[in-house]
Amino acid sequence: MKGKMKDEILYDHNHDGIDRRGFLKCMAWAGTGALCVMSGGVLKSYSLSRLPEMSAKEALGELSFVQISDSHMGFNKPANPDVAGTLKAAVDKINALAAAPEFMLHTGDISHLSKPEEFDTVDQILKSAKPKDVFYVPGEHDVLNDEGKQFLERYGKGSKGAGWHSFDKEGAHFIGLVNVMNLKAGGLGTLGHEQLEWLEDDVKHLKHSTPIVVFAHIPLWSVYPEWGWGTEDSAQALGYLKKFGSVTVLNGHIHQTLQKVEGNVTFHTAASTAFPQPEPGKAPSPGPMKVPAEQLKSVLGITDVNYVQGQHALAVVDSTLA
């Protein structure tokens, strides 16, 4: 499988707030996480699979951080009986960076069954990562049986509600949202009234030029509602972010990379560190994709995702399918 198909899609955006071409989307298998570099208020992201090739200069922006997702510690079925091993491999890649990222985001499904020992294992593995700070939002697998109490005790220090929170880094404003609680029959992910009110207030006094990074588990856009891949009230949340020139939304949940640029907002889902899931609608259900053992790493590690800054262009998406 040496053949590569490369897609490069340019999206022109003149900061006029008008979504001129609807959206672009591009889907591809990805590696075990993404490195994000903030440079000039624009976020660039790189698949971890190509990080060793990157120079320190390329990797260093005004701010660099790593997103990992869907570790599913405790999962032990095909195609990955060793999810601890693949999470360690992700950490090794992070540690091989020429310049250590400042911190990590984990976009949920840390554990598979919300068992204490599963969280313990992840904590232990992540301790060996060079970036020491990790910011978490829960996935639905992290809040089983106890309404998220354990998650909050472990990772929710200083957060509001079910774990939502915000913080500032190098002039960028980061917002962690929780959309996996109180899910209703037949519905999608939900943020809920209380969290939306908090969000509106949280961004009210920020300058329009402040780069915004939102991270949450379930995609905040309608990826594939038939499989529950979307969030009921995400439009309201994104409405509060319309005034900002640069908004980057980082999600997990669907175990594959998917990008979309819509107006001033760039959406990006990260791959899982545990197992792949099928493309939307390409299987009878969104259950784990079974691939031969020798193919697992290649399935998890073959795609580049880049946001490239150009003149007046918010983003270029460059994906590779091998």
Which residues would be at the binding site for another protein (CB under 8 A)? Answer: 77-78, 112-114, 140-141, 144-145, 183-188, 226-228, 284-288
CB closer to another protein out of 188 and 238: 188
Quick one: 61 or 189, whose CB is closer to another protein?
Answer: 189
41 or 192: CB nearest another protein: 192
- Residue number, 253 or 260, with CB nearest to another protein: 253
| CB 48, min distance to another protein, A | 25
Asked if residues 158 and 198 have their Cβ atoms less than 8 Å apart, the reply is no
Contact of 69 with 273, CB cutoff 8 Å: yes
Q: Omega into 79 within 30° of 0, i.e. cis?
A: yes
For another protein, give the closer residue by CB, 83 or 212: 83
Q: Is the Cβ–Cβ distance between 321 and 302 less than 8 Å?
A: yes
CB of 188 to another protein, least distance (A): 7
Q: How far is the CB of 31 from another protein (least distance, A)?
A: 22
In angstroms, rounded to a whole number, what is the distance separating the alpha carbons of residues 124 and 91?
11
Cα 169 vs. chain centroid, distance in angstroms? Answer: 18
In sequence order, what DSSP letters do the residues of 88-111 get, joined into one string? HHHHHHHHT-SS--SEEEE-S--B
Residue 232 φ then ψ, to 5°: -50, -50
- Least separation in angstroms between residue 156's CB and another protein is 20
Distances (CA, A) of 320 to 266, 289, 305, 308: 18, 20, 8, 15
Min separation Cβ 112 and another protein, Å: 7
In whole angstroms, what is the distance from residue 148 CA to residue 153 CA?
A: 9
Q: Please state the closest distance from residue 153 (CB atom) to another protein, in A.
A: 17
Given the complex with another protein, which of 56 and 185 has the nearer CB atom? Answer: 185
293-300 and 83-95 helices, crossing angle to 10°: 40
241 phi and psi, to 5 degrees?
-105, 5
